[in-house]
Amino acid sequence: MDLEQRILDVIDRESAAILQLSHEIHDDPELGNQEFRACARQCEFLESRGFTVTREAGGLPTAFTATKRGKPGGPSVAILSEYDALKDIGHACGHNIIAAGAAGAAVGAALALEEYAGSVTVVGTPAEETTGGKIGLIEAGVFDQFDFALEVHPTAGKSIIMRGGRACTTVYADFTGVSAHSSAPATGVNAVSAVIATFQNIDALRPLFDPMDNVNGVIPYGGGANNVISGEARCEFCLRSDTLFHLEKLIERVVHAANCAAMLFGAKVETRVDPKFAERYPNRPMGLRFKSWMEKLGEPVTEVSPVGAYGSSDIGNVSLLMPSIHEYVAIAPAGVNGHSAEMREAAVSPAGDRGCILAAKALALTATDLLRDADLRAEAKAYFDQQVPDVYRK
């Protein structure tokens, strides 16, 4: 029996356990940096199958690595897992499929290590939806050991490769004024007015935005009683741009808008910025190999432009360091939005389960090709060297 068939067979034999892992994570949602049970479930699954597990990888409480090694030397392949849920709506981004698919893929790819040099590691990366656990792991040096990174994300409509992503971060502005009775507003400093002015200032600046810039804001706290001039109010903004360089300009404008609003009303403002998600550089040679395996498994795959008004992920930061893919497997009909109740239900539907096993198989076979095919490795690295701007290189 050839290696490919053995890999497919072992994933089929493990499919019930892989899907159980997916459903357990889905039915027990945890927010970013709080995914203790999801982390433990994956560690236990992989440890019981012979992987060497390191918990709290990089000093992050809900990160981990799980590694199997073959003969000395050879490439080090990382298969990335995400498992944080969304506030109020649970696993409406299908991260349970990412986690279980990664675990299943590693079990399959581990068979190749019986014949080839190298290693396969599942990297558990928390808080993709918020603070970006991959960024913390990069800063801690966890990704320094890897040569290639692979991930698959669920989507609606059709399975695709080569989709990029924009740079992204969150800017927070906390305003402090002076509380007063609403009958005498001049005796206070209205922090809510400063928040409203921040939104108005940002809207006034939109003509200066670059075409790929996007700012969306919310008001987590806008005062309490309506007969009180509020001395406290907070707002926060999700910023996206096509590159980290343009994102920095956008951050400056949003912070300036908040500072000007505070000055106008005589309030004080404290601004802070989350870690910055980088734009994404999908590796085409690796993506085409993944596409080939998906199609051999019966799933049509469309290649799309890497540039577009896309969302963001901290996989972008990984793609600055090494050849990386973050491909998409369809689990819902076209028109179902990500981060919706419909996508949450799709993540544990028969289509979601099919996508999870399909992703595990195609990832395992792509990882296997990286272990055994020096030409593919060289092509992927050459594409990376040409694609990723020199300014990002260490």
Q: What is the pLDDT along the chain (394 residues), one digit of tens a residue?
A: 799 999 999 999 999 999 999 999 999 999 999 999 999 999 999 999 999 999 999 999 999 999 999 999 999 999 999 999 999 999 999 999 999 999 999 999 999 999 999 999 999 999 999 999 999 999 999 999 999 999 999 999 999 999 999 999 999 999 999 999 999 999 999 999 999 999 999 999 999 999 999 999 999 999 999 999 999 999 999 999 999 999 999 999 999 999 999 999 999 999 999 999 999 999 999 999 999 999 999 999 999 999 988 999 999 999 999 999 999 999 999 999 999 999 999 999 999 999 999 999 999 999 999 999 999 999 999 999 999 998 887 6
Do both 217 and 320 map to the same domain? no
Number of domains in the chain: 2
Q: Determine the Cα–Cα distance for residues 310 and 153; give it in Å rounded to an integer.
A: 14
Domain end, chosen from 273, 289, 322, is at 273
Residue 338: partners with Cβ closer than 8 Å, 6 or more residues away: 92, 93, 155, 156, 311
Domain end, chosen from 245, 273, 301, is at 273
User: What is the Rg, in whole angstroms, of the alpha carbon atoms belonging to the chain?
Assistant: 23
Do both 268 and 297 map to the same domain? no
Closest CA to 166 of 217, 102, 210: 210
Stated pTM of the model: 0.94
Residue 267's domain comprises 167-273
The whole-number pLDDT of residue 333 equals 96
Q: 77 - beta bridge partners?
A: 120, 148
For residue 173, what is the domain's CATH number? Answer: 3.30.70.360
The whole-number pLDDT of residue 74 equals 96
For residue 354, what is the domain's CATH number? Answer: 3.40.630.10
Distances in Å between the alpha carbon of 221 and those of 39, 89, 196? Answer: 32, 20, 12
Distances in Å between the alpha carbon of 317 and those of 28, 126, 236? Answer: 28, 14, 23
Domain end, chosen from 255, 273, 291, is at 273
Do both 160 and 171 map to the same domain? no
Do both 374 and 297 map to the same domain? yes
Compute the C-alpha angle 110/59/339, nearest 5°.
Answer: 75
Do both 314 and 327 map to the same domain? yes
Do both 21 and 151 map to the same domain? yes
Do both 10 and 72 map to the same domain? yes
Do both 159 and 172 map to the same domain? no
Do both 227 and 295 map to the same domain? no
Do both 176 and 155 map to the same domain? no
The whole-number pLDDT of residue 138 equals 98
Do both 160 and 182 map to the same domain? no
The whole-number pLDDT of residue 394 equals 63
Do both 269 and 354 map to the same domain? no
Q: How many CB atoms lie within 10 A of CB 45?
A: 25
